[in-house]
Chain A
């Protein structure tokens, strides 16, 4: 069964600090991996999408990495801001079934 597991479930950090969120998956065969940001009570917004051949991808202060061999991805946030407080969801697409498997998210809180 395809699964996406994220850690930690929740994280609290001080404004200005960096943090890294983790995503492990068992989806096979792999097509692509996405990171979404979801503010409370809103729809998810795409941050990055990576295919098998991409090891790293940046979007401003967000940098995602992908290790397709170990089936792991991370999302690194640099110099956090209060507006980064949100849930971050890892999503993996499988090749063939054309389906997405969603992780349960990491709830990030930035405190001043």
Chain B
């Protein structure tokens, strides 16, 4: 069963704690992305990676960190420095980086920080 998986579906944390969101794909895609979705706003790019061991900041990278040690995996850590971390987080992948290629999205993780 091919695709992108994100876990967990729901995540609850106390303010001040770091939390890591998982994203795995078995599509053999080179590029992976993390987006944040808030009510009434379009998706916003947090980080992206076009190849293993390389990643770039998106539009709202402050308070987040990522790693890309394996082609299949692109975990996102939400640190305590992120001022408003409660949101719906979406991971995506594409066969190559760049806007010409279709992006396939995972099912998302809803993070609630209290």
Chain A interface (Cβ within 8 Å of chain B)? 4, 31-32, 34, 36, 41-46, 49, 89, 93-95, 97-105
Q: Determine the residue in chain B with the shortest Cβ distance to A103.
A: B42
B interface residues (Cβ-Cβ under 8 A, vs A): 4, 6, 40-45, 88, 90, 92, 97-100, 102-108, 110
Q: Which residue of B lies closest to A104 (CB)?
A: B42
Bound-complex Cα distance A22 to B45 (A): 23
Given A99-B45, A100-B45, A45:B99 Cβ within 8 A: no
A4 to B4, CA, bound (A): 27
- Determine if A93 and B106 form an interchain contact, defined as CB atoms under 8 angstroms apart: no
User: Given contacts A99-B45, A101-B42, is CB(A93)–CB(B99) below 8 Å?
Assistant: yes
Taking A99-B45, A100-B45, A101-B42 as contacts, is the C-beta distance between A42 and B99 under 8 angstroms?
no
CA gap between A42 and B108 in the complex, in Å: 6
Contact of B43 with A102 in the complex, beta carbons under 8 Å:
yes
Which residues of the partner chain A approach B4 to less than 8 Å between Cβ atoms? 43
Q: Could you say which residues of chain A place their CB within 8 Å of the CB of B43?
A: 44, 89, 102
* Given A41-B108, A41-B110, A43-B107: A89 touches B99 (CB 8 Å cut-off): no
In the assembled complex, 13 residue pairs joining A and B whose CB atoms fall closer than 8 Å, in A order, are: A31-B100, A32-B99, A32-B100, A34-B102, A36-B105, A41-B110, A49-B102, A93-B99, A94-B99, A95-B99, A99-B99, A101-B42, A102-B43
- Which residues in B have their C-beta under 8 angstroms from that of A105? 42
Shortest 7 CB-CB contacts between residues of A and residues of B: A102-B42, A93-B99, A43-B105, A102-B43, A98-B99, A98-B98, A44-B105
Residues in A whose Cβ lies below 8 Å from that of B6: 43
